[in-house]
Chain A
């Protein structure tokens, strides 16, 4: 038999190709990790790794077992996430993910109204990284997310909250920062913030105006952003720009004195939405969606 910990150790070593690097990632001492892997091999009765002076490679058995070990870890993580979601559902709690500024700032009319309807509910807001891979996996730790819509897949539901213009965010020393009005054609050829290769291509494309250019920017920063904070970090030097929904841009410029927000008048707008998994089962979810519908209707009437 083997433990979940042993499987995680083995998968990490296989991914890193080096005991030393894997030990660092697992916050373990290197001899302890070597010993744990040797023990796993002893219990299985097979060698999983071939040790070389400069790292490790997998044996054929190791390759076959890696697939199974990964499947176990993924299924167990999924079980734990589902358990947490069901526990929230049973205890009047909801976890709301967001990208960008906190939703209570970005959309007080929705989240304020929702909190007033449920004064005793435990509402937690979680800052999500940019979506990578499957949207369903990205949403695993929350019941619903508030953001510009990620890639839609079967099993993912979306409800539009509001349509917002896109705005350019730039450092106040950037050459474009002094402009009052900007059109898409003024900014297409600039250096843009590079998004991490794991980020959903459609997400990166939206923020880099690929829809208007017909392809990725000609020039990108060397650093890759995986989250809003990293994106703002890259922009703390004046080299690069990106675009976000106007409300997010305004909030960023209020909080960070070095950042300016410039509406892009002719850019296709952003659909700021609530996104959730079809199999989500939290009773508070329905109420949040109802409040969001009401808010959207009120805005239409204004």
Chain B
């Protein structure tokens, strides 16, 4: 059986987008070239993968079966590639540091500043991440380590708790809750919440919609399909709806977004801010960073304990 690895990625993308045109855009190739590649793949394989319709494509039954295997092969390949790139970064002394929403230098400045002083040979590059999908390992594929609210549990990912932060409600400034100094969970459970994209881990989306307090999804959700913090903020400015964020994010919002107001939430369970990384990548630079975070965490806890004793 002889087929090109690149063609597998083309096929998986076409299957996922349901349209040659959309897939071509996502892959950055010309549409006729993509069509030809798929036809070539079908001829290499000896069976048809797609039914072509006027308004898009659908998978044949054989295409459905093949998609499962092709997707696994593509993802194993990109995982190996990401691991190789991470190892090459180790050699260059670089850590790719992921974050969601607020740059880590703004919400945990002390940790990173001291780390930079203690390890001048390690260069930290920051990369913004979208909200996690259900597979935390592939969410973190392109970074070595990240700081965020706890991502979905995945044996391929370790987490270390940095701190807990209260959840804070964000509302548009013309919302009826604007002006309140503080809110209780019971007061906001029945509000309309900003909608998340289906690619976002449902546990993650549910946490920011207070599902853990309600026991189910909000009754009213906007038609938005937010997959990153900017899309949530963009939706907030035009909708009559709310969401919640960690306190550190909320404290920065008024600085750069005037149409949105943050209101403290008295009795919501806190967000758990963790450092997360890959269990199966031997990365000594990340190990140093984690050791450093642990040592500073221990020192901070010890100082707090001493303060309590006084």
Residue positions of A touching B, CB distance < 8 A: 1-2, 4, 7, 44-46, 60-61, 63-65, 67-69, 71-72, 74-76, 78-80, 82-84, 86-87, 89-91, 279, 281
Contact = CB atoms under 8 A, between A and B. Distances in A.
Contacts of A87: 1, 45-47
Contacts of B69: 75, 78-79, 82-83
A46 B73 contact: no
Q: Of residues B1, B79, B91, which shows the largest number of chain A Cβ atoms within 10 Å of its Cβ?
A: B1
B72 interface: yes
Contact of B73 (A44, A76, A84, A89): A76
Nearest to B45: A83
A82 B66 contact: yes
B57 to A, nearest CB: 18
B267 interface: no
Interface residues of B, number: 33
Contacts of B29: none
B3 interface: yes
Given A46-B87, A75-B72, A1 B81 contact: yes
A40 B280 CA distance: 20
B80 A83 contact: no
B79 A44 contact: no
Contact of A46 (B75, B77, B91): B91
A78 to B, nearest CB: 6
Contact of B80 (A68, A90, A281): A68
B102 interface: no
A88 to B, nearest CB: 9
A91 B80 contact: no
A204 to B, nearest CB: 31
**What DSSP secondary structure best describes chain B's contact surface?**
helix
B164 to A, nearest CB: 32
B87 A44 contact: yes
**What DSSP secondary structure best describes chain A's contact surface?**
helix
Nearest to A4: B5
B46 A90 contact: yes
A79 B8 contact: yes
B281 interface: yes
Contacts of B80: 2, 7, 65, 68-69, 71-72
Contacts of A80: 1
A2 B84 CA distance: 10
Contacts of B223: none
Nearest to B48: A90
B273 interface: no
A72 B72 CA distance: 9
A67 B80 CA distance: 9
Nearest to A82: B69
A79 B70 contact: yes
15 contacts: A7-B80, A44-B88, A45-B88, A60-B282, A64-B87, A67-B280, A68-B76, A68-B79, A71-B79, A75-B69, A75-B72, A89-B47, A90-B62, A279-B65, A281-B61
Contacts of B62: 86, 89-90, 281
Contact of B76 (A46, A64, A75): A75
Contacts of B133: none
Given A79-B73, A281-B61, 17 more contacts: A4-B5, A45-B84, A45-B88, A46-B84, A61-B282, A64-B83, A64-B280, A64-B281, A68-B80, A71-B76, A72-B76, A74-B76, A79-B8, A83-B69, A86-B66, A87-B46, A91-B47
